[in-house]
Amino acid sequence: MTPAATIAFKDVSKVYDDGRVRALDGVSLSVREREFLAIVGPSGSGKTTLLQLINRLAEPSAGTAEVEGVDVRAVPPIALRRRIGYVFQGVGLFPHMTVAENIAVTPRLIGWDRARMDARVDELLDLVRLDRGQRARYPHQLSGGERQRVGVARAIAAQPKIVLMDEPFGALDPINRDAIGGDYRRLHEQLGLTTVMITHDMLEAVLLADRIGVMRAGRLIAEGTPRELMTGTHGDYVDELMATPRRQAERLNALMAREAAP
């Protein structure tokens, strides 16, 4: 039995400026429970808009977005956002709040008591592999990688089942990026999350995601597991896109082999 769809887009479109800009054009896509979906595509392809339809940061012009089988328009947006984690592009930590206050912001909004929030902050710092001594520091005192770990901790603080990530690791150096990506994937498994992640890094999508959706000019032009997309043909653009990580890996292998030769 296939698990029920946690998130489903049914023929959603989104136009801006009285129809002059078409950000989304008839996209249908579903994300199963505990699935990790990556959405890839160039800038302006509609990835972020699609993600924002899920927690009503944006509203569709046509079609419906459903979360756990319910049209999101029937759910009050504030309540919806409080039960969906969100990791923002460029982190988006509140600069006037400490690490602990940033992490506990959603629990505070839904009225947890102080002891429960404190315990949760410690638990989350452990989960995202940050020192508990960082609690009282402010975002500007942290490194980029530490900040993004706090961003992840904040997104999952109120124990959401769904986490949305908008190019979460884009601004990080390669080592941090790899480490945090791997750590998040582990959390995704461990906590049984359903994750939708936007990225323009194909390699990251291939290595982290269960399934990948490819967007271009507001349309979903391909979707499937990394293996499915990397084999077979899905049109010139997708094939070219999917060839990139493979070509990189092959070049790397060739390089390693030559270095290893006497």
Partner 1 sequence: MSGILAGPVGDALRLLPDYLGSHVLVSVTALALGLAVSLPLAIASAHRPALRGVLLAVASLVQTVPGLALLALFYPLLLGIAALTERWLAFRFSALGFLPSVLALALYSMLPVLRNTVTGLLGIDPAIKQAAVGVGMTPRQSLMMVELPLAVPVIMAGIRTSAVWVIGTATLSTPIGQASLGNYIFTGLQTQNWVFVLFGCAAAAALALAVDQLLALMETGVRLRRHARVALGGLGLALILAGALAPNLARPHATYVVGAKTFTEQYILAALIEQRLNAAGLSATRREGLGSNVIFAALAAGDIDVYVDYSGTLWANQLRRDDARPRAEVLAEVKSWLAAHGGIAMLGPLGFENAYALAMTRARAQALGIRSIADLASHAPTLSIAGDYEFFARPEWAAIRRVYGLSFRQERQMQPEFMYPAIAAGEVDVIAAYTSDGRIAQHDLVVLDDPRQAIPPYDAVLLAAPKRADDRALSEALAPLIGAIDVTLMREANLRATGGGNASPAEAARWLWDEIEKRKKKQVGWVERQRNPSFWVPRP
Q: Does 42 bind partner 1 (CB under 8 A)?
A: no
Q: How far is the CB of 162 from partner 1 (least distance, A)?
A: 13
Give the residue, chosen from 86, 194, 209, 218, that forms a contact with partner 1 under the rule CB under 8 A. 86
Asked if 163 and 183 touch (Cβ cutoff 8 Å), the reply is no
Q: Does 136 bind partner 1 (CB under 8 A)?
A: no
Which one of the spans 18-26, 91-99, 127-135, 186-194 is the region binding partner 1 (CB under 8 A)?
91-99
Which one of the spans 4-12, 76-84, 196-204, 208-216 is the region binding partner 1 (CB under 8 A)?
76-84
Cα–chain-centroid distance for residue 186?
A: 14
Give me the helices (H) in 21-61, please. 47-54
Q: Does 6 bind partner 1 (CB under 8 A)?
A: no
Please say whether the dihedral angle defined by the alpha carbons of residues 77, 135, 199 and 202, taken in this order, is positive or negative.
Answer: negative
Q: Does 110 bind partner 1 (CB under 8 A)?
A: yes
Q: What is the DSSP string of 144-189?
A: HHHHHHHHHHHHHTT--SEEEEESTTTTS-HHHHHHHHHHHHHHHH
Which one of the spans 73-81, 169-177, 203-211, 224-232 is the region binding partner 1 (CB under 8 A)?
73-81
Adjacent-strand bridge partners of 190: none
Give the residue, chosen from 57, 75, 171, 207, that forms a contact with partner 1 under the rule CB under 8 A. 57
Residue 173: which residues within 8 A CB-CB, separation 6 or more?
144, 145
Which chain residues interact with partner 1 by CB under 8 A?
A: 55, 57, 78-79, 81-82, 86, 88-90, 92-96, 105-106, 109-110, 138, 154
